[in-house]
Chains A and B, each alone.
Chain A
Amino acid sequence: MKVTIKSWRGVATWRWVANDDNCGICRMPFDAACPDCKIPGDDCPLVWGQCSHCFHIHCIMKWLNSQQTSLLCPMCRQEWKFKE
């Protein structure tokens, strides 16, 4: 007997490759959207700081905009710089 696979349609779940499960600001899972967004993934991406912490982009932007003086990472209080 010879079995040939003509096509394989699998099912997979995607996830962000991050060092944590939940966003440190909104406490939602990274794989879900931030509270302001409806659709996860491309519409609500993650950003990493140079301190290696990552957040939903909308969450960290909100945080940074609310800061008066210097822009610090909400987790480690180091200066926040986007990782290129």
Chain B
Amino acid sequence: MENASGNAVKMDQCIDRIFREVLENISSDNLMNSQTRNCLKMCPFSLLMMKIEKIVRIRVVPQFWSKFNNSINKDSKEGFQDFTDSVDELYENSKKFISVIDRLKESISCVHQNCEFKSDQLIKHVRHYIQGTILSQIPLQHTIIIEQFYKTAFNVFCNIEALQQPCDFPTNNELIICEGCKQEKKNCRCQVIVNIFHKTNEKLIDLGLLERLSGSVLTSLIHIRIKNYVFSVSCNSFNQSQIGNLEHWLDTVVMNWLVRIYTGGSSKMAGLPDKFRNAISTFKQKLSYFLYETYTRVRIQQLFNIILIFPDSQPALDDLRVCLKKNDLRKYLISNLQFNVKTRLLHPGVSTPDILTTYISAIKALRQLDPTCTLLEIITDPVKLYLRGREDTVRCVVSGLLNESNANNLANEIMRNKPINQDLSSSNDTAQKDSNNSTQTKKENWENWQPDLIDSENEFDLKPDLKSDLKSSLFGIYSKITPCKAEPNSAVISKNENSDLISMLVNVYGSQDLFVNEYRSLLADRLLSQLDFQTEKEYRQLQLLKERFGEQQLLSCEVMIKDLCDSQNINNNIHNDQTYMSHFKAFDTSALILSAQFWPPFKEDWKLELPAVVQQQLQKYVLAFESFKANRSICWKTHIGNVNLEIETQDRKLTLNVSPIHATIIIHFQDKNEWSLDQLSEVMHVPTTVLRRKIGYWVSQSLLIETSNDVFVLVDKLDPDNSKQFTDLTQNILEDDEDIDSAMASVSDQREEELQIFWSYIVGMLTNLDSMPLERIHQMLKMFASQGTGAVECSLAELRQFLDNKVKDHQLLYSSGLYKLPKS
């Protein structure tokens, strides 16, 4: 402080000296003639200016900056003080220069009465000079102190604002430290700081340095503030729209502060000159853009979570949609969401139903963000590709469709949506019709046409197998995985297609055949596991699916359901048949009589040999059927069915519903107390591995016990102590196991059987050409084997798997990328 006042005294003396020197110069010119005098009219002022400029350059400005230079280690309080002092000093100095000019003007006007002296101009000049010199000598670290100054002030200001709105920001009154100035409350300096702050700003405005010196610092401070506020507001709450709140906050808190800086304390804009008003309003526009951008970024980062809880996060999604229109963050959204989807969704740790649920939410949510669905396609394509690689996808989709209690509501979806693809009899016809339709729609809305978004350069990268599937995508319109931009009409087509959630799911595989097959398998399982002949629910579902996929595709499913009804009739008829009823009847028999051609293939690796008594009874049923339906016979699938048993041991009586194989096992134990697994396997014609698994059920019921390795003994009397809880424990596990067990051959097994027709071609090829790479084999097969109608299509990946299986079975050799036949 002493130093500063010393400086001030020095400066005063200095200015006085200049003034005197100049005056002397002028007086010595007195005797000159008028011409010279005219020439020199401006001379004293130029002289003065030169002197002043020199002082500004050498003394004032370096002094101003001197405090900024060694500011790195100072805390914010000191910084605040330093900045205030520097600005004060500069302001005082500039005032002194102006007063000197005024004094000179007075002195001269005493000597030369008619002197036209424009002191305004000079003052302006001095100001500009000071501004220019200050900016030209800016030290490197000048922002540190300025930042500290504004930060301190801003903290105080925000704290005051916060205190005024106690409901929004509940403050902790027990704090000893004042939030604003970081001082103890009793000697809070907030008000002092505010006063100093406003004064300093006023001085800066007067000097014309406010924007130059503190503009960038101010902006970055406000940006940080906006960021913090946006984060705090939008953190993990998706169920409220925040745009209004944010705008209000910007309008009140931030703008208020900004106005105060410009006005030097008052919060009213009215008194301001136009220049500042314009500055403020541009500033506001910039800040508002920044606010939106920050908010959009935050929401984009949260987008994956928003999708996960979609219907609840509707407000957040609406916000995002509004925001996306205001800025250009679409690319960021795509890359961010793709990354999130890849790292959080598409890995083996996520179960397929979860992926599907997310996929469905993503479809719904992204469709809201972007009605043209381009965004949707780009984001969900990797998901589709991934789902295609999962074995249980179709099963999950189908069970989702059939299961009304399912969380993802697919069952409701199918009832709500109108079918879009109707006649499938000839794919060529349909393709043509489709393109006709789309041209028509295009003509209708050409005025509303909007260009597709082009931010999808990587679209082609997503479909590496596109070319290999070209044929199938040309002829099967359902495999519409061709990129949007490839065909002129495709925008319209994809819009139609995407509007239907179910088709999007079905199209995960690019074709609906697989989907229909899986549905058939699931339906078969359901029908076979049903104890009654109730088919109304299945029939209703089938009708809905038929509207979507067409009659032809689902014909076999209809026959399956009809088989059930027919079986019931046949059973009733046979039970009314006198000859059948008059025979001795060991037990009630009924049958599900299936049209084998229309059901999916059954797993039949082994044929269960039933106990003799059962066989006799079933044979009687066959005879009754043959007499009822002339020229027809039935063939029992012995391992499927449902048997109601009553088991009486010495101390228990059980009534159980079991499968035929379980029944057969326990019936065998009725005749003989002890069986080894091998013996039993021989009698029942069932592999020991299967048998062991099935016996587990009876062990869990405490009816059998494994005494030594692979030998089971009947437990006729229960040991009362410890067996009960054991029973409860194991039963659940085993019943789960039963559920999974399907009577049908799995889809992949069926597929492999289809591919078997290629095997002879492949063997022929390799015999003639010795060894071939995978691609070549694929090409050849495409050329020769899969021509004509009804040909089996086979993708490269499928072929690879097929060939690898053959390698595993030693039917092929594989080395350095070439397949070869083993030398026999």
Interface of A toward B, CB cutoff 8 Å:
1-18, 29, 31-32, 38-42, 46, 48
Contacts A8-B617, A8-B641 given; indicate if A13 touches B634 (C-beta within 8 A): yes
Are B643 and A11 touching (Cβ within 8 A)? Answer: no
Q: How many B residues are at the interface, by size bracket?
A: 35 or more
Are A10 and B591 touching (Cβ within 8 A)? Answer: yes
In the assembled complex, the CB of B580 is this many whole angstroms from the nearest CB of chain A, namely 15
Are B631 and A17 touching (Cβ within 8 A)? Answer: yes
Are B660 and A14 touching (Cβ within 8 A)? Answer: no
Q: Is B638 an interface residue (CB 8 A)?
A: yes
**A60 CA to B648 CA, complexed, in Å:** 58
Q: Which parts of B708-742 form the interface with A (CB within 8 Å)?
A: 714, 716
Are B636 and A11 touching (Cβ within 8 A)? Answer: yes
Query: Can you show 26 pairs from A to B with CB atoms below 8 A apart?
Result: A1-B714, A2-B670, A3-B648, A4-B648, A5-B587, A5-B645, A6-B655, A8-B590, A8-B618, A8-B660, A9-B589, A9-B592, A10-B641, A10-B660, A11-B592, A12-B592, A12-B622, A12-B636, A14-B596, A15-B633, A16-B632, A32-B595, A32-B597, A38-B559, A39-B559, A48-B631
Interface of B toward A, CB cutoff 8 Å:
528, 531, 555, 558-559, 562, 566, 586-599, 614, 617-618, 621-622, 625, 629, 631-638, 640-650, 655, 660, 663, 666-667, 669-670, 703, 714, 716
In the assembled complex, the CB of A35 is this many whole angstroms from the nearest CB of chain B, namely 12
In the assembled complex, the CB of B612 is this many whole angstroms from the nearest CB of chain A, namely 13
The total number of A-B Cβ pairs within 8 Å is 146
**A3 CA to B588 CA, complexed, in Å:** 15
Are B593 and A12 touching (Cβ within 8 A)? Answer: yes
**A7 CA to B660 CA, complexed, in Å:** 11
Contacts A2-B647, A9-B641 given; indicate if A14 touches B633 (C-beta within 8 A): yes
Smallest CB-CB separation from A38: which chain B residue?
A: B555
**A32 CA to B641 CA, complexed, in Å:** 23
In the assembled complex, the CB of B532 is this many whole angstroms from the nearest CB of chain A, namely 10
Are A1 and B589 touching (Cβ within 8 A)? Answer: no
Are B670 and A6 touching (Cβ within 8 A)? Answer: no
**A13 CA to B636 CA, complexed, in Å:** 6
Are B595 and A8 touching (Cβ within 8 A)? Answer: no
**A residues near B646, Cβ cutoff 8 Å:** 3-4, 6
Are B636 and A15 touching (Cβ within 8 A)? Answer: no
**B residues near A3, Cβ cutoff 8 Å:** 645-648, 663, 666-667, 670
**B residues near A42, Cβ cutoff 8 Å:** 566
Are A12 and B558 touching (Cβ within 8 A)? Answer: no
Q: Which 6 A-B pairs have the closest CB atoms?
A: A7-B588, A13-B596, A32-B597, A11-B640, A12-B634, A6-B644
A10 in complex: contacting residue of B586, B636, B714, CB < 8 Å: B636
In the assembled complex, the CB of B529 is this many whole angstroms from the nearest CB of chain A, namely 11
Are A10 and B629 touching (Cβ within 8 A)? Answer: no
A15 in complex: contacting residue of B596, B598, B714, CB < 8 Å: B596
In the assembled complex, the CB of B311 is this many whole angstroms from the nearest CB of chain A, namely 41
A40 in complex: contacting residue of B588, B592, B595, B703, CB < 8 Å: B595
B631 in complex: contacting residue of A5, A16, A32, CB < 8 Å: A16
In the assembled complex, the CB of A45 is this many whole angstroms from the nearest CB of chain B, namely 8
**A2 CA to B666 CA, complexed, in Å:** 10
B637 in complex: contacting residue of A11, A15, A32, CB < 8 Å: A11
Smallest CB-CB separation from A30: which chain B residue?
A: B597
**B residues near A5, Cβ cutoff 8 Å:** 586-587, 614, 643-645, 663, 667
Smallest CB-CB separation from B588: which chain A residue?
A: A7
**A74 CA to B614 CA, complexed, in Å:** 44
Smallest CB-CB separation from B570: which chain A residue?
A: A14
**B residues near A2, Cβ cutoff 8 Å:** 647-648, 670
B597 in complex: contacting residue of A1, A6, A7, A29, CB < 8 Å: A29
